[in-house]
Structure 1
Amino acid sequence: MIRWEHPPKRRTERRRKGRMPMVTEIREARGCRNPGEDEIATWLPTRRVDHRIAYGPEAAQFGDLWLPRSSSPDPNGYPVVISIHGGLWMSEWTHEHCDRMAEAFSDAGFAAWNIEYRRIGNTGGGFPGTFLDVAAAVDHVRELAKDFPLDLSRVVVVGHSAGAHLAAWIGARHNLAHSSPVYQADPLAIRGVVELSPIPDLQRFYDLVRDVYPPIQDLLYALSGTDSDEALAEILPQISPARMGPVGVARTMINGESDPTPPDVIREFAAQAEQAGDEVTLVFFADANHFALGDPGTELWDAIVERVRDLA
């Protein structure tokens, strides 16, 4: 049974009753300005990044660390946001897509670690390189904490689109078999995952878009290091969070109602996570498109920061 609640006018909530964990659904009714794909390609931060730091020897193995300039750290350090950019896992899309988002998180009092990683089109991109890079970048926060005031007990991973897939993968990677090529021992503990325009189930995503976007087949083959649907299905338990077991930390899935992925599919993703044992908050923004969720200039941004702060 679904019970609708009516808190302040800007949103409505519903919570699925039954066993814990649960899915809490929230609809944010505020409107927003929707940026286009061409616009986000030219997004620029308002200041220079504080530190660019390599976590590996390859050209794409680095991150940008943005530190708050208007606040001092807590006694244990700043809470940390790790941001993972999207772009269908392709090399044409870079960490710069999330620069403004990382800057905005630092303005909100977080240390923001905006990571780059090898992608499809880069030497070593795809499986296993993309996943090993993202894992190494996340775990490198331990090294960053030796030189900067970071609170390792308050780390939240935020990803947009394909980056949301990788953020959920980071949360679920502790379930990987030791024999997996993408297994890494002793992963950094995180407090939560925020998935903006989530893609936690690669098979469902593939089935949803392949008729309208045929290149998705080659992209997922490249991402998985396979060359057939049968081979892809075999490797999904290592790279698709929906097949990997519980993330084990709080998850917030945020989607725009004007996103190409319909709300009912996002609800399927949340239900899968609940069935795996995760507690999920599901947030829909009325009228928002795919790109609005990554734009700190929209009216939605404060609500997204609130969700991240709740997890940290």
Structure 2
Amino acid sequence: MTAPEVSPAQPAHRGEAARALANVESSSDVTVDRYLYPTTTGDRDDRQNWADVYLPPGEHEKNSVPLVVLIHGGGWESKLGADVFVSLSKRLAERGLAVYNLEYRRVGSGGGWPTTFKDVAAALDFVPHVQSALPEISLHNAIVVGHSAGGQLAMWSGTRHNLEPDEIGASPVFRPTYAISLAGTLDMRQAVLNGNPRARRVMGGLPSEVPSHYTSVSPIENIDPDMPIIAMTGTADTVVPPSMSSNYVKAVKKAGGRGALVTFPGVDHTRIVAPDAETFPQIIETISRAAHDAHED
């Protein structure tokens, strides 16, 4: 059963989104609205099936503001949510970008296989409806960025058009054409072999038990050489080893694609995205430059 589409999109729970924005110190006039996206699972959770849309200050012409989609991490589990990206969303909006910071159901709050992946696909496919309500947003060469588990979801989201019709997330209505991973879990089989129980839980079993799940959503098994990527990682990351990012970039280049690896000496898994970290300005600059450059292509 597929939930009905909502068009045109209407913002919801503005107070919640605005309160999250108010907690970030700044004097800019960035605006934020929360949108509830329809799911494809036959049910939904308004506490989780939403996306906050941040817009830069001022008036903007139609199709003039580049779009960045953010997908948070947290091991695909419910302990962390999209609020961890409030500061990043605001800073990017201050750089002239529209930001779509999405939430999804996770293990422990109704998610897991296949719901988590269906939610992320549904949230992305709702972007054109949001753009119809906010025509200043440009969908030309949109960028997706994800941290940790969100890095896996981000890379996968940019390659859904290559999936078989019966696979989760196939035949996307919208897809980003540039992806940036921040300490992303880019090889799900290897993550399980490394002893990551969270990867096994969200996949619904071991690679030997559900091999098709891994084939379908593991980024290193779904490389699209036409999608440029950047993988950023810290050398002190003991949660997702830096080799996962470097191996992914090597695989992208071997396939004939464009991939760049950025390493931060001495930075661990969570510090890489901390707003007060020394890495934060470079991450903002990298995303901002990539989004603006891609929009101009």
Q: TM-score range, shorter-chain basis?
A: 0.7 to 0.9
Cα displacement (A) at 1:49: 6.2
Instruction: Give SS of 2:96's match.
Output: coil
1:143 aligns with 2:93: no
Residue 18 (structure 1) aligns with: none
**Which moves more between the two structures, 263-272 or 149-158?**
263-272
Q: Which amino acid aligns with 1:73?
A: H
Residue 53 (structure 1) aligns with: 35
**Which moves more between the two structures, 168-177 or 254-263?**
254-263
Change (3 A) 1:186 1:202: closer
1:66 aligns with 2:54: yes
- What does 1:104-123 align with in structure 2 at a 5 Å threshold? 104-123=91-110
Instruction: Give SS of 2:139's match.
Output: strand
- What does 1:77-116 align with in structure 2 at a 5 Å threshold? 77-116=64-103
| Number of residue pairs the alignment of both structures matches | 259
Residue 158 (structure 1) aligns with: 145
| Structure 2 CA distance for aligned equivalents of residues 178 and 161 of structure 1 | 27
- What does 1:1-312 align with in structure 2 at a 5 Å threshold? 44-46=23-25, 50-56=32-38, 57-59=44-46, 60-69=48-57, 71-73=58-60, 75-123=62-110, 125-148=111-134, 149-180=136-167, 182-208=168-194, 210=195, 216-217=196-197, 219-226=198-205, 228-246=206-224, 248-260=226-238, 261-312=240-291
Q: Which amino acid aligns with 2:160?
A: R
Instruction: Give SS of 2:164's match.
Output: coil
Change (3 A) 1:290 1:85: same
Unpaired runs of 5+ residues, structure 1, are: 1-43, 211-215
Query: In the alignment, is the contact (CA less than 8 A) between 1:164 and 1:198 conserved in 2?
Result: yes
Q: Which amino acid aligns with 1:117?
A: Y
Q: Which amino acid aligns with 1:169?
A: W
**1:141-167 deviation digits (Å, cap 9, x = unpaired):** 111111111011041101011101100
Instruction: Give SS of 1:231's match.
Output: coil
Change (3 A) 1:186 1:178: same
- For CA contacts below 8 A with separation 6 or more, give which structure has more relative contact order: 1
Identity rate of aligned residues, in percent?
27
**What's the RMSD between the two structures over aligned residues?**
2.2
TM-score by length of 1: 0.76
**Which moves more between the two structures, 294-303 or 101-110?**
294-303
Cα displacement (A) at 1:272: 2.1
| Structure 1 CA distance for aligned equivalents of residues 112 and 101 of structure 2 | 19
Q: Which amino acid aligns with 2:51?
A: G
